[in-house]
Amino acid sequence: MSTTHEFSPTNTIVLVGMMGAGKTAIGRRLAKRLDLKFIDADDEIEIAAGCSIEDIFKEHGEKAFRDGERRVIERLLQQPTHVLATGGGAFMDPRTRDSIKQGGISVWLRADIEVLWQRVSRRGHRPMLKTDDPRATLTALIDQRDPIYAEADVTVKSRDGPPEETVDHVLDALWRYISSREQDNEYA
């Protein structure tokens, strides 16, 4: 399935969702297809902090990390239209969520526990999963976060398969969302 819709978003496309949902992998491909710049918020946070996210969590705690994350995302949303991948917890912060709603189009990459676990268990760099039972922690995070992620403008299922298929689904969903918004504005 290759999308044939031609459009140029005027708002930054902000990918949200759980760790392992594919925000970076899909975001890079999506940006290329839309001929936009790709930015990973986690990379920008590490540059701003001068250390890794894992180190920020260890030395300053989650609250300090979330405060910095919010400031970085707010700054990134002021830049020209691009595709932005956020960290898994970014959309949980009400102020960050509001900034995204004001300055972007949020796309929830929704994945089930099996897909997420398969992806995140390959690497041990996830600070939120440094627990006695990381799979149970992941399940609890999904239960806690999914209702908030559901507030995103667009939802696309992230499946275990070729990333280009998910990119096609994202493009189709974005095209429908943008088209319906433009149509609503015509009648306003």
- Distance in angstroms (rounded) separating the CA atoms of residues 123 and 88: 16
- Distance in angstroms (rounded) separating the CA atoms of residues 71 and 115: 30
Domain ranges in the chain are 12-182
Average pLDDT of the chain to the nearest whole number: 89
Q: Which two tokens stand for residue 32?
A: 């290329």
Q: What's the CATH architecture for 12-182? A: 3-Layer(aba) Sandwich (3.40)
Q: What is the reported pTM?
A: 0.90
Query: Nearest-CA neighbor of 166 among 26, 33, 34, 23?
Result: 26
pLDDT at 4 over 90: no
- Distance in angstroms (rounded) separating the CA atoms of residues 29 and 13: 13
Mind listing the pLDDT tens digit for each residue in 148-184? 999 999 999 998 889 999 999 999 999 999 988 776 6
User: What pLDDT, on the 0 to 100 scale, is given for residue 186?
Assistant: 56
User: What pLDDT, on the 0 to 100 scale, is given for residue 109?
Assistant: 98
- Band of pLDDT at residue 34, cut at 50, 70 and 90: very high
The answer for residues whose C-beta is within 8 angstroms of residue 19's C-beta and 6 or more apart is 87, 88, 116, 120, 126, 128, 129, 138
The answer for residues whose C-beta is within 8 angstroms of residue 161's C-beta and 6 or more apart is none
Mean pLDDT, range 45-72, rounded to an integer = 90
